[in-house]
Structure formats: C-alpha cells, structure tokens
Structure 1
Amino acid sequence: MPERSPRKDAARNRAAVFAAADALFAGCRSPEEVTMADIAAAAGVGKGTLFRAFGDRTGLIGALYEARLEPVRNAITEGPPPLGPATPPLQRVPALLDAVLCFKLDNRHLALALEGTGADSPYRTAHYERWHSLLRDLLEQIPGLAGADFTAHALLAATRADLVAYLAGDKSAPSEELREELREQLAAFTATVLGTRGAVRG
C-alpha cells in the first residue's frame, strides 16, 4: 500500500479544520466559546496539529476568514460588474459594501471572532486596513469627493461585525431588510456626491 503524501494529509487536515471551525462558529452563542481544543476535537486532529499549522487561535481565525472571503476578493480584483474593476467607482462602492455586509451576515460569528483579534479595537486588524484602503482608493477616484479616508471609515462602520450581529441577531432583522437599508443609505450618499459634483461644475 503506497504511503500517503504529507502534502495531501495536510490539505485534508486543513479542510477538516476549516469545516469544523465553520460549524462551531455558526452554532455558538459567542465566538469566545470556540477554543482550539474544540476545533481540534471536531476536526479529528490533535491540538498540536492546529498550533503547528496556524500558530494560535488568531492565526486560525485569520486563515479561515481569508479562505472564506476568497470568492469575494477574486470578484473585486478580476470579476465582472458590479464588483469587478470595469465598474465605475461610484457604482462599485455600493456593490463592495453590499458584498461585505452579505459576507458578514453569512459568517457572523467568524467575523466577530476576527474583529475580536485586534487587541482593543477591530480597526487594528489587518483585514480592516485592507477593506479601508480599497474603499478609500475607490472614493478618491470620484471627482468632487473630499475626505476619502474618513468617508471610507464612515461607510465601513455600517458593516462592522458587532453591528451586524446586533441587528441580525439581537434585533432579528432579516438579511434582505438590512441590505435594503444599506442600499438606501448609499443611494443617498451617491445623490449627495452627484449633487456636489454638479455644484462644483456649475
């Protein structure tokens, strides 16, 4: 019987760990409840395997988040409209924020766990800086819009994981209702930007 490839074993273990973590985070009351020992037991691997592969709980959460976010990231960098780079920035901003909101609605406790890894602030996590930079760069391409850096922070605040968890969980707001409210707010923002542009041109 041929020996199993260590690389294949590692890939299989990684998939099992991610699937176990997905299930545990989806079913927990609070992300703090999910430990490395819980994930290892659910995945059928040793706890040492997790620490060797991911370093610590923060590393595991970050790796899982990145893996689950990959389809959205690919759509942003090379996909078709409305997320892809061919879409004008003013239309791309609402599409981007809707995609972030949908991701956090679908991965609520995972997003909470990730935002909880930023010391005393979710703004200190690496993923937040990436979202902010991307959104700021898009806003800077919109003529007549000032303060792109702060505006990016303000718009991203509507998709914070703790807010999403509060509205979707504590308040039982339907996902589509939250998406529609965000769309309405962004439509008002777009109208303001277009009005400002008109005033500048006039």
Structure 2
Amino acid sequence: MTHDEATGRPRPARTELPVIGGPPAERADAAQNRRRILAAAAAMVAERGPEALSMDEVAKTAGVGVGTVYRRFGDRAGLAYAVIDDREVQFQTAFLKGPPPLGPGAGAPERIRAFLHALVDRTEDQLGLLLVAEMDSADARFAEGSYELYQQHLALLLGRIRPEADVRWLADALLAPLAANLYGYQRRVGGMSVARVKAGYDELLAGLAPPGGSPGP
C-alpha cells in the first residue's frame, strides 16, 4: 500500500504514482498488432494532420480488422491518446524522476512553475492530437490516467506552500487552462503566444505565496 501525495493517508496500490502510459503486458501477436496500429495512426497524423485520424482507415493500413482497433483503443479519442503516449511517458518521467527544478530537488514553488511551463510546451507540441482526444469524448481528459497524476503531483506541491488551502481544487484550477479546447482557442483565435500563457501562469502562482510569509521549501 502506498500513500496519497497530498494527504499522506494510505491509498490502494492502484492509485500509486508510477509513470502512466506504457502498454500493459500482452501476447506477442497482440503487441505486434498494437505496434502496427500505432505506426499507421502516427503516419496518418504526420501526413494529413490529427483531424484525418480514422479508425477504419487505420485498421486497413495496419492490416487488422476494425473491430480489433475498437476493442484495443475504444474510440478515436483512445487511439489519439495512445499515439500521444510516447511524449507523455517522457514528460512524466521528467517531473517525477528528472533533474530539478522540474524533478525532485527544487522548492515547491519552483517545481510548480517548471511543471506548468513544461505542460504548456507539451500541450503546444501535441495540440492537434489533444483536441481530437478531448473533443471526441467529454470525459476523455479526466478518464485518461495522466490527469489524476498531474492533479496529485500539483496537490502535493501546493500543500507545501499553502497547507491550509483546498489543494485539490487549486490543482484542478491550475490545470484547467490547459484543456485543449481552451488552449487552442487562446492560441488560434485569441492570438496569445506561448510566452503570454506562461506569463499568465506566473501571475497566478505569485498569488499563491502564504500571506505575510515566503513560500515553503
């Protein structure tokens, strides 16, 4: 049994904080099918953009039945998230185990800032795929395992700065601007630069310092 990052209370092993996103153990033929499907999907996205992602066409290109694609990935959102996984695993490894300030070893304020700035960059790099994944299902962003990991990571760090605060709510509030549809609207319609988004986060974080004191370690 492990412990919740934010509260220190025991929690079941299924909610521990490993890097999320790697494929589960599987038979050799299933693993081969997965690789072929993801290769076909990645090629389709690279050649024609995320909006062209089609379950039927991916199945045809990969040489598998469309039912296999649906059983394995559920829907187009699930397939899009699977294509995203490689970058996601790298990102999670960096903030859980990498060098500071993104990884362990820096103070909580520095780590929160580094995490949010890095998440802005990751969202920018894969915005098209994230839009496909999140818009195909209203709950896709929250059902996908990485959101809970982000929330718990931020809640832990926020608790070190403002232990009296509702850190889970604050974590959700900090993650909300990076929902793909809002971020895409700000970038494409609002004309906001990546630097402006990051500066906005810095302003939000400046307001999280404890009243009358400096942030905790």
How would you bin the TM-score normalised by the shorter chain?
A: 0.7 to 0.9
Instruction: Tell me the equivalent position of 2:205.
Output: 190
Kept in 1: contact 2:97–2:103 (CA 8 A): yes
Instruction: Tell me the equivalent position of 2:10.
Output: none
How much identity, in percent, do the aligned residues show?
32
1:197/1:86 Cα in 2 relative to 1: closer, same or farther (>3 Å)?
farther
When the two structures are superposed, what TM-score results if normalisation uses the length of structure 1?
0.74
Cα shift readout 1:96-122 (whole Å, capped 9, x = no counterpart):
11222212211112212222354x445
1:117/1:137 Cα in 2 relative to 1: closer, same or farther (>3 Å)?
farther
Kept in 2: contact 1:122–1:128 (CA 8 A): no
What is the CA RMSD across the aligned residues, in angstroms?
3.1
Kept in 2: contact 1:36–1:50 (CA 8 A): yes
Cα shift readout 1:26-59 (whole Å, capped 9, x = no counterpart):
53474xx532112223444442442353344444
The answer to whether 1:19 aligns with 2:34 is no
The answer to whether 1:95 aligns with 2:101 is no
Looking at structure 1, the residues matched to 149 and 90 of structure 2 have their Cα atoms a distance apart, in angstroms, of 16
When the two structures are superposed, what TM-score results if normalisation uses the length of structure 2?
0.69
Instruction: Tell me the equivalent position of 2:66.
Output: 47
The structure carrying a bigger helix percent of its residues is 1
Deviation at 1:70, TM superposition (A): 0.4
Asked which structure has the greater CA Rg, the reply is: 1
Instruction: Tell me the equivalent position of 2:128.
Output: 109
Looking at structure 1, the residues matched to 162 and 182 of structure 2 have their Cα atoms a distance apart, in angstroms, of 31
Instruction: Tell me the equivalent position of 2:174.
Output: 155
Q: Which has the higher contact order (CA 8 A, sep 6+)?
A: 2
